[in-house]
A and B are shown apart, each in its own frame.
Chain A
Amino acid sequence: MTDPVLEFAHVSITAPGADGPRTLVHDCTLQVAPGEVLGLVGESGSGKTMSVRAVAGLLPDGFTVEGAIRIDGQDISELPAKRLRDIRARRLGMVFQTPRAHLNPLRTIGDFMTEALVTVAGESADAAARRAMELLAEVGIPDPERRMRQRPGDLSGGLLQRVMIAATLAMDPPILLADEITTALDVTTQEEVMAVLADLRRTRQLAVLFITHDLALAAAVCDRVAVMQDGRIVETLSASTMRADAREPYTQRLLSAVLPADLLSGQTAAEPILVVDGLQKTFHVRSARGGRREVFVAVDDVGFALAPGGSLGIVGESGSGKSTTARIICGLESADAGTVSVKGEDWTTPARSARGRRQRARIAQMVFQDPYLSLDRRQTVRQCLTEAVAVHRRSASRAELRARVDELLASVRLDPTLADRRPRSLSGGQRQRVAIARALAADPEILVLDEAVSALDVTTQVEILTLLDAIRRDTGVALLMISHDLAAVRRLCDQVVVMRSGRIVEHGPIADVLDDPQAEYTRLLLDSIPREGWVPRRRIPARVSVPDDSTGAASGSSTSAPITALEGDR
């Protein structure tokens, strides 16, 4: 192995706290060589992000680092501040989970791309612009000239993430720190971004520290994988033989948590509880420049039915209209055309009166993607659940409310001692349990899950999916599951609807659709799931030539032309 460009030698990171300092990372040792992708895998809170933040100098105030972090063999703690800043600017590139949050919405992509070139490298504005366009082309962004003039709001998440990668490449750094860069992306977009990364690593000999909680993804794209638990690296494995070599119980747990693609429950045939027919919704979007109004068709002639106690998955990428459909059903949006009928009643427009809303609340409830945002951060778990119960039981006594809340906590297998905590002191899985308990407070007959497990770690995902499955069996609640994650949908649903650009492209029993997809788009979605032997492919050919090799990952393998439309700007 060549000399590592990035090295951690017995690094510990300590955070200050009201109850004394807490050590978040213990004695972490790892090396990344040029051209190597090292995966750092673990659940959230395991210390992955703090480790990369320490390299980039982005630790919050008061955090202390012990041990040595070396860039090109130099201990960064020994360098004077100015020199360190220079090294970080030139030697390190960092890409984050949420590109949108890291880009100034008021400045153009061009401004963003050329900033470092002009201020750090001292290039002229023209030269910087030319270089920026080359970089955008290199990461496979079509029509870079136009993109340079656009603002972050005009670009999709996948394109923005590629802009972020291109921008970090501006200084030609040998090290790339990638922190959960595809977690917020759809599977197809994830594949694109990973393919770009694979190309860059080959052409530029980039050393990549790749942080993810997705073990399947890490196994597919990394050379080696370091597994982190509670701030310690428990083992480092070769990605290709990881399954066979894993010794640590934690690694095995992570591996087994990768959703098995089986499970299938029987069909249900009864009068549907929910019927959606010819649903249509358009949004008028003011375009960034000139204030011209553009029409965006979010939902176009969507129809399906859900049986009582049944389970239907709606899958598709973001922007496919699946969330809008769910929001219309729950009365958060009104449809432009079509009907929603629930138990024979018309639900097409949101309930106007508070009484109407309460009545509907007893039938349909929703669980949102991010429980941290969907819970009021000021309320304790008990306050939150008591409120949800009290809405429907106005005459209930304190003792009755209390008993019902305890019952709800038990039904989502949540430790009652957590009842007095607020969302910020709960884990992601615990928060989502609270959100589910709240949705169950009204004893609903339909539970709409809007990407309810997408933001969770894999192990937590399995727990929550198992819980939902149990709840469905116990209470007979019908599930409408909105997700981009096909494995999660397969785990929970009998029927599936595949949506793309507001339309239904395929629907049917889950096994039929996923095992024998008829629509090309369904096949594409299935292909994009990271698995053993998976090689991310670019659907959009890169402009610059990439040396082709046996993996077929380069531009030459882009076969399916119609898919290019996937990356249209929204």
Chain B
Amino acid sequence: MSIGQLAGGRISPVARRVAQRDPLFIAAGVVMAAIVLLAVLGPLLTPYDPNQLYVGPVLSPPSVVHLMGTDDLGRDILSRVLAGGAASVFGPVVVVVLSTVLGSTVAILSAWYGGWVDAVLTRITEVVFAIPGLVLAILAVSMFGKGLIAPVLALSIAYLPVVSRLVRAGARSELGKPYMAALRIQGVGSLAISFRHLLPALLPAILAQSTIGFGYAMLDLAAISFLGLGAQPPTSDWGVMISSGQPSLLNGAPEQSLFPALLVVLTVLSVNILGARVTAWAERADA
């Protein structure tokens, strides 16, 4: 007898996953939870002041005193990783949320009204599509100054067309289905149809796109910081740390770049694994 039967078939998909011993899902979930916790509580847990120079010897390898070693200025890498977590994790979250909300709105308006509304909105998003996100971000930084806000907003705009294209195609096909005609004949209002019927139907696609978007946003933001246009030294940010660790890397001390890089990879990987699973449930709930 399976656990599902014991629970009378009423168990959440998460519990079922765990019950089915999906090791990848469990691992990704644990890693993600740890990273989020680290991003939220990180600043409170730092063993040293993350910006305090020469708390130890320069470029010391991991030791009991400095778990991740120290960087080229003798700062504690662990403290800097913890302090930089928030910006590194929540920056991409903001990008994904903004681009998804805006992109879906544009897409649904486009699909709903069709005609010239659709034509205008689609052309505009196509123009934005033609500009690479990184270029847009660099442009924004040069206009609004360095820091995290400008690149986050720029990337949100840059990712918008990707979301809106996908959602528009899905919305058009969904709106063409008989149940949408049935809802209109019943006199159900446009907003109710959009929020109660259309969006839930598009959710699997939107979710899948968001997790992929998160990965790209994290890497793009790290790249912007890496280029010195995002978070500014001495602020600790995983991208900045990877970037400023470059010379040390060549001197045979990889820790400064390695640990933040590892965290970026782990975060992106876990988000994608979780996203794929959640999308699969949403799809199955649909079938």
Q: Give the interface of A toward B (CB within 8 A).
A: 18-19, 327, 330-332, 354, 357-362, 364-366, 368-370, 373-378, 387-388, 391-392, 424, 435, 438-439, 441-442
Residues of A within 8 A of B186 (CB): 361, 365, 387-388, 391, 438-439, 441-442
Contact B182 A368 (CB under 8 A): yes
**A127 → chain B closest CB, angstroms:** 41
* A-contact bits for B71-110, CB 8 A (1 contact / 0 none): 0000000000000000000000000000000000000000
Q: Do B187 and A375 touch (CB < 8 A)?
A: no
Give every chain B residue within 8 A of A376 (Cβ-Cβ).
Answer: 179, 183, 197, 201
- Which residue in chain B gives the minimum CB-CB distance to A377? B286
Nearest neighbor of B181 in chain A, beta-carbon distance: A332
- For the complex formed, measure the closest distance between the CB of B183 and the CB atoms of chain A, giving whole angstroms: 8
Q: Is B177 an interface residue (CB 8 A)?
A: yes
B contacts with A: majority SS? helix
Residues of A close to B184: CB separation below 8 A:
331-332, 357
**Contact status of A368 and B181, CB under 8 A, knowing A18-B9, A376-B197, A378-B286:** yes
B124 within 8 A of partner (CB): no
Contact of B179 among A18, A369, A374, A392 (CB under 8 A): A374
- With both chains docked as a complex, state the minimum distance between the C-beta of B286 and any C-beta of chain A, in angstroms: 6
**Does B120 sit within 8 A of A, measured CB to CB?**
no
What separation, in Å, do the CA atoms of A377 and B183 have in the docked complex?
A: 13
Q: Is B188 an interface residue (CB 8 A)?
A: yes
18 A-B residue pairings within 8 Å (CB atoms): A18-B4, A332-B184, A354-B187, A357-B184, A365-B185, A366-B181, A368-B182, A373-B178, A375-B179, A378-B197, A378-B201, A387-B192, A388-B188, A391-B188, A392-B187, A435-B182, A438-B186, A439-B186
Among B177, B187, B189, B200, max chain A CB count under 10 A is at: B187
CB under 8 Å from chain A, chain B span 146-177: 177
**Complex contacts, B287 vs chain A, CB 8 Å:** 424
Report which residue of A359, A364, A368 has the largest number of chain B beta carbons within 10 angstroms of its beta carbon.
A368
Q: What's the Cα separation between A358 and B200 when bound, in Å?
A: 23
Cα A362 to Cα B196 with chains together (Å):
21
Is B5 an interface position by the 8 A CB rule?
yes
Task: Quote the shortest CB–CB distance from B13 to chain A (angstroms).
Answer: 12
B182 touches A378 (CB 8 A): no
Distance in angstroms from B86 CB to nearest chain A CB is 36
Complexed CA–CA distance, A535 and B196 (Å):
51
**Do A366 and B185 contact each other (CB < 8 Å), given the known contacts A19-B5, A373-B177, A376-B197?**
yes
Q: Which residues of A contact B182 (CB under 8 A)?
A: 366, 368, 374-375, 435, 438
B232: interface (CB < 8 Å): no
Interface pair A357/B187, CB less than 8 Å apart: yes
A378 touches B200 (CB 8 A): yes
Q: B residues within 8 A CB of A378? A: 197, 200-201, 285-286
Bound together, the chains give a CA A417 to CA B178 distance in angstroms of 26
- Please measure, in the bound complex, the distance between the C-alpha atom of A365 and the C-alpha atom of B286, giving whole angstroms: 26
Complex Cα spacing A375 to B187, Å? 15
Contact A330-B185, Cβ < 8 Å, known A18-B4, A354-B190, A374-B179: yes
A361 cross-chain contacts in B, Cβ below 8 A: 185-187
How many angstroms from the CA of A445 to the CA of B181 in the assembled complex?
19
Of B177, B188, B196, chain A has the most CB atoms within 10 Å of the CB of B188
CB distance A354 to B189 under 8 Å?
Answer: yes
Give the residue of B179, B183, B285 whose beta carbon is less than 8 angstroms from that of A373: B179
For A327, the chain B residues whose CB sits under 8 A away are 181
**Bound-state Cα–Cα, A358 to B188, Å:** 7
Q: Which of A19, A358, A369 contacts B187 (CB 8 A)?
A: A358
Within 8 A of A (CB), among B54-71: none
CA separation between A311 and B140, bound complex, in Å?
66
A332–B196 CB distance below 8 A: no
Fill in one digit per residue for B186-228: 1 if any A CB lies within 8 Å of its CB, else 0: 1111101000110011000000000000000000000000000
When A18-B9, A376-B197 are in contact, do A360 and B178 touch as well, CB less than 8 Å?
no
Q: Closest Cβ of chain A: how far from B83's Cβ, in Å?
A: 43
Residue of B nearest to A365 (CB): B185
Which residues of the partner chain B approach A368 to less than 8 Å between Cβ atoms? 178, 181-182
| Bound-complex Cα distance A42 to B76 (A) | 75
Tell me, rounded to whole Å, the shortest Cβ–Cβ distance linking A153 to chain B. Answer: 16
Pair A374/B178 contact, Cβ less than 8 Å? yes
